[in-house]
Amino acid sequence: MSIATTLTQVPVKVHEDKCIAEKGCTVCVDVCPLDVLAIDLVKKKAFMQFDECWYCLPCETDCPTGAVEVSIPYLLR
Amino acid sequence: MNRIDMEFDLVVIGGGTGGPMAAVKAKEKNPNLKVLLIDKAHVKRSGAISMGMDGLNNAVIPGHATPEQYVKEITIANDGIVDQEAVMAYAANSFDMIQELDRWGVKFEKDETGDYAVRKVHHLGSYVLPMPEGHHMKKILYRQLKRARVEITNRVVVTRLLTGAKGEVTGVMGFDCRTADFYVIRCKAAVITTGAAGRIGLPASGYLMGTYENPTNSGDGHAMAYHAGAALANLECFQINPLIKDYNGPACAYVTGPFGGYTANAKGERFIECDYWSGQMMLEFYRELQSGNGPVFLKLDHLAEETIGEIEHILHTNERPSRGRFHEKRGNDYRKQMIEMHISEIGFCSGHSASGIWTNARGETSVPGLYAAGDCASVPHNYMLGAFVYGRICGYNAAEYCGSTAAAAIDESAVAAERARVFAPLERSEGLTPFQIEYKTRRLVNDYLQPPKITHKYEIGLRRFDEVREDAAAMVATNPHELMRAMEAYSIIDCAEMAARSSMFRAESRWGLYHYCVDHPERDDANWFCHTLLSKGGDGQMAMSKKPVEPYIVPIDEEERDAYQRLRVERKAEAA
């Protein structure tokens, strides 16, 4: 398959010590309008899967443990 | 890729602003109606007001403004091309909606006497009502949806409408952006509330999702309405907004204006009399950007500390709260320097300008059983409150329509065709990515469609869109999420072509920068005092027509007619 994977620094950072996805929490994944967050099924932590962030902040605001931190994407920072 | 069949009376497509209101009001009109609210995101945080809103930009409140004054203001601001009856239907219901929202728990700014604290931002009248605590808007809507027992389906991307023998709505099709399950929903009526087409142009930063609008608003509703046979109105009246450079969100002069903030040039001088977003205002903004006095800034550094503190609280907790951290990283401090601004990429958004799926004063489109409200519909300068008011109008009228209509059979051949179209990218293992198709389309939009509009550039643009459309037939998606982006890319190509064809049809200049044609630099009322309509022709291609402007119900004086043409601050000649 002739498709490359290009690395990029994503704007949403999940502090894994605070993330409680292993307890079944999916709040950040649920509220993201662009559906770019997901739960890593091995680590049982949330992470940003797609670099398509509108820096709108529901994931950070609604996280019950303050584990999500959104930065302005580098290209427009 | 399972097929999931559902049956409802009414399906509301898009759960942002107007959608929840339409669904709640349809249930209020007829509690026995089966109503589905469907969203490709999650209704709790979807749409333009995902993080709330800092104010009402078009509140028509007794004692401050009358519906007639408002209709007049919008008629003038939109260069006369309005269906006044439709604007009046908004204006006459504006205050009632504000009171209802107030009862639901929305907090509006009030003065010491308990009256709404209305501010002046428009050129003529006063219509801006601040909501400093407006960040709770989506929670309030969600509570109403639950109370009204509206059924909700999240993460399903609606792609096309199904129509019957008489062209009427008979169903809705889409797919789940996580599982790729295919949905076929039989219904009697549908309301499209999919917001602006905010992903047509490419932000100057090059970041695909760094748009002014919520990037979920990719014009899916405009595309599905077009393919269902609906007419779209005045698409050449683009949305172009004055925004914080690079951040690409509102700066925002509507909030700061009443506090004494204003748009200034590099010398710190005011150059426009009014910061209300009209095409003429944008043209003056554009001219200043291009001139030796550019760039353009939002000026607040002359204000008192407590005023700036209040502005920061409103701007950094509402609508686009990440503005605060953008400024922090840049070292921007409202107290110390002006904030650099720029103009946005183009889009379709009746919330701020005047283009969208054609609707009348009842929220009806040209397709029986199909309604539209909010930024995707054609009622001009409608903003959030207009989406609510028209959501209610659509909800009531769609409920009534459902009561007198029987459900029709689903056209299974249309279902099979759509299913094949939607899932094709998932079945390929080689090809172009949705990202590539989308990026190229949007870059071409900037190169060829961004005003000033030049006919030859538009002709080249159309040829290039055709090439991309051919290339899109090789799009590959490796998962349901990418499939969502692939289907959005199709909506974006459709909208780009609609923008070009509508612009080339109207052979004059109107609405300031929104439709500034270099080949036809003057406004031509003799030939173009009309709406333009775009719809699917018999040959399956886009067809254009003129529609006369409906007779005015609020007359406009000769003197007021050109008020928005005189926005530039006049400078007296200085003695040499």
In chain B, what residues touch A30 (CB-CB under 8 Å)? 42, 44
- Cβ distance B209 to A52 less than 8 Å, yes or no, reads yes
The reply to whether A70 falls in a domain is: yes
The tens digit of pLDDT for each residue in B443-466 reads 999 999 999 999 999 999 999 999
The tens digit of pLDDT for each residue in B39-95 reads 999 999 999 999 999 999 999 999 999 999 999 999 999 999 999 999 999 999 999
* B319 backbone φψ class: left, alpha, beta (φ>0; ψ -120 to 50): left
- The pLDDT > 90 percentage for chain B reads 91
- Chain A closest-CA separation from residue B425 CA (Å): 14
The tens digit of pLDDT for each residue in B351-409 reads 999 999 999 999 999 999 999 999 999 999 999 999 999 999 999 999 999 999 999 99
- pLDDT band per the 50, 70, 90 thresholds, residue B572: low
Neighbouring CB atoms inside 10 A of A28's CB total: 26
Mean pLDDT computed over B330-334: 95
Is the pLDDT at B575 greater than 70? The verdict is no
- pLDDT band per the 50, 70, 90 thresholds, residue B133: confident
Q: Which residue of A has its CA nearest to B329?
A: A77
Residue B322 has its nearest CB partner, among A2, A31, A57, at: A57
- What interface predicted TM-score (ipTM) does this complex get? 0.97
* B169 backbone φψ class: left, alpha, beta (φ>0; ψ -120 to 50): beta
Mean pLDDT computed over B523-552: 97
- The pLDDT > 70 percentage for chain B reads 99
Is the pLDDT at A1 greater than 60? The verdict is no
The reply to whether A27 falls in a domain is: yes
Q: Which residue of A has its CA nearest to B331?
A: A77
Interface subset of B 426-445, CB within 8 angstroms of A = 429-430, 433
- Cβ distance A50 to B481 less than 8 Å, yes or no, reads yes
The reply to whether A5 falls in a domain is: no
Indicate which of B207, B320, B330, B433 best probes the interface with A, i.e. most A CBs within 10 Å of its own CB. Answer: B207
Distance CA B495, CA B481 (A): 21
The reply to whether A7 falls in a domain is: no
- Cβ distance A52 to B215 less than 8 Å, yes or no, reads yes
- pLDDT band per the 50, 70, 90 thresholds, residue B123: confident
Indicate which of B142, B153, B322, B475 best probes the interface with A, i.e. most A CBs within 10 Å of its own CB. Answer: B322
Spatial CB neighbours of B354, under 8 Å, sequence gap ≥ 6: B78, B81, B82, B233, B234, B237, B378, B380, B381, B511
Residue A34 has its nearest CB partner, among B209, B329, B330, at: B209
The reply to whether A1 falls in a domain is: no
The reply to whether A4 falls in a domain is: no
CATH number at residue A31: 3.30.70.20
**Domain total of chain A:** 1
Q: Which residue of A has its CA nearest to B46?
A: A33
Distance CA B252, CA B254 (A): 6
Residue B44 has its nearest CB partner, among A2, A31, A55, at: A31
Range of the structural domain that residue A56 is part of: 12-76
Residue B215 touches chain A, beta carbons under 8 Å: yes
- Cβ distance B429 to A32 less than 8 Å, yes or no, reads no
Is the pLDDT at B290 greater than 60? The verdict is yes
Helix ranges, B257-353 (H)? 279-290, 305-315, 323-330
The tens digit of pLDDT for each residue in A2-52 reads 788 889 999 999 999 999 999 999 999 999 999 999 999 999 999 999 999
What's at B303, amino acid-wise? L
Domains of chain B in sequence order: 55-131 (no CATH), 242-343 (3.90.700.10), 413-528 (1.20.58.100)
Cβ atoms of B411 and B35 within 8 Å: the answer is no
- Chain A closest-CA separation from residue B324 CA (Å): 10
In chain A, what residues touch B429 (CB-CB under 8 Å)? 1
Is the pLDDT at B238 greater than 90? The verdict is yes
Shortest CA distance to B434 belongs to which of B470, B479, B486, B490?
B486
- Cβ distance B214 to A33 less than 8 Å, yes or no, reads yes
The reply to whether A2 falls in a domain is: no
What's at B506, amino acid-wise? R
Give the model's pLDDT for residue B560.
83
In chain B, what residues touch A34 (CB-CB under 8 Å)? 41, 209, 215-216
R_g (Cα) of chain B, nearest Å:
23
Q: Which residue of B has its CA nearest to A62?
A: B45
The reply to whether A18 falls in a domain is: yes
Mean pLDDT computed over B108-113: 94
Give the model's pLDDT for residue A5.
83
The tens digit of pLDDT for each residue in B136-151 reads 999 999 999 999 999 9
